[in-house]
Homo-oligomer: A and B are copies of this chain.
Amino acid sequence: MTARYIEIYQQFKTDIIQEKYPANSFLPSEAKIASQFSCSRDTVRKALSHLEEDGFIQKQHGRGSQVLQHSLINFPISGLTSFQELKQVQRLDANTKVVLLERLQSTAMNRQTTGFPAKTKLYHLIRVRYINGLASVIDEDYFDRSVVHNLTAEIAAGSIYEYLENTEKLTISYAEKSVTAELISKQDRLLMPDLPERENRLIQVESRVHLADTTYFQHTISRHRPDKFQFNEFSRRQKK
């Protein structure tokens, strides 16, 4: 049931990662790929376009598609990737402690910060992420309870996204994110006791996450230890 062009995309993606096509080498021409997969050139082109967007190849008019240097570490943090997925891909020694899980209603006050209209029924969740035993990230989430129905501490300690996509059958689609450096609060110091006294800010990644039908359902504030924070991104220059 998965689309043909997605299969082709994945085939080349894994081949590139396994260095079957090493950096700087060229993929076969679109025509050759099309005959190999016995599909049309249009289908191949769709697959290659996605590989290009994601930074795996660079297409060159009249020359071919060249494989780019890729550090695996380069991709997973960018985009919309959950902590559990990160943990898997990067093979981190990581675990999660649920500090708070409560039900509440949004007020006019936190409407501005969370983006939810007043009186929306929400889950409020606070978790600390430990990497190699060190408290490295404080995650604070608000979920719209009309979308997320049965959130438990067990789910929150594992993968909420896995639960939402596989059990609740939701399609998580896009997010607006912002990265800033925010002053450290007393609560931050309590949750990150090893944080050196001289540090005065945490790196904060704020996200507003939406479903495929544009429903806004999650607001997340992730506060990172500044000495442990790294955000990697592949970006392309906009065409005129």
Chain A residues with CB under 8 Å of chain B are 2, 6, 24, 53, 55, 58, 60, 66, 68, 71, 74, 78-81, 172-181, 198-201, 203, 210, 212-214, 226-227, 229-240
Contact at A234–B174, with CB atoms within 8 Å? yes
- Which residues in B have their C-beta under 8 angstroms from that of A53? 53
Contact at A238–B81, with CB atoms within 8 Å? yes
Nearest chain B residue, comparing its CB with the CB of A181 = B226
Contact at B176–A179, with CB atoms within 8 Å? no
Contact at B58–A179, with CB atoms within 8 Å? no
Known A-B contacts A201-B226, A212-B58, A214-B68; A235 and B173 likewise in contact (beta carbons under 8 Å): no
Contact of A214 among B58, B181, B199, B236 (CB under 8 A): B58
- Which residues in B have their C-beta under 8 angstroms from that of A234? 174-177
Contact at A236–B173, with CB atoms within 8 Å? yes
- Which residues in B have their C-beta under 8 angstroms from that of A229? 179-181
Contact at B60–A230, with CB atoms within 8 Å? no
Contact at B60–A213, with CB atoms within 8 Å? yes
Contact at A174–B212, with CB atoms within 8 Å? no
Contact at A181–B178, with CB atoms within 8 Å? no
Contact at A200–B203, with CB atoms within 8 Å? no
A231 CB to closest chain B CB (Å) equals 4
Other than A24-B214, A180-B231, give 15 A-B pairs with Cβ distance below 8 A: A2-B240, A58-B173, A58-B212, A58-B213, A60-B214, A68-B174, A68-B214, A74-B176, A78-B235, A80-B237, A81-B238, A172-B237, A177-B232, A178-B230, A203-B203
Nearest chain B residue, comparing its CB with the CB of A54 = B238
Q: Please report the C-alpha to C-alpha distance between residue A200 and residue B235 in the assembled complex, in whole angstroms.
A: 29
* A55, A60, A239: most-surrounded residue (chain B CB, <10 A): A239
- Which residues in B have their C-beta under 8 angstroms from that of A74? 176
Contact at A214–B177, with CB atoms within 8 Å? no
Nearest chain B residue, comparing its CB with the CB of A174 = B236
Contact at B214–A179, with CB atoms within 8 Å? no
Contact at A175–B231, with CB atoms within 8 Å? no
- Which residues in B have their C-beta under 8 angstroms from that of A2? 240
Contact at B231–A179, with CB atoms within 8 Å? yes
Q: Please report the C-alpha to C-alpha distance between residue A203 and residue B224 in the assembled complex, in whole angstroms.
A: 13
A216 CB to closest chain B CB (Å) equals 9
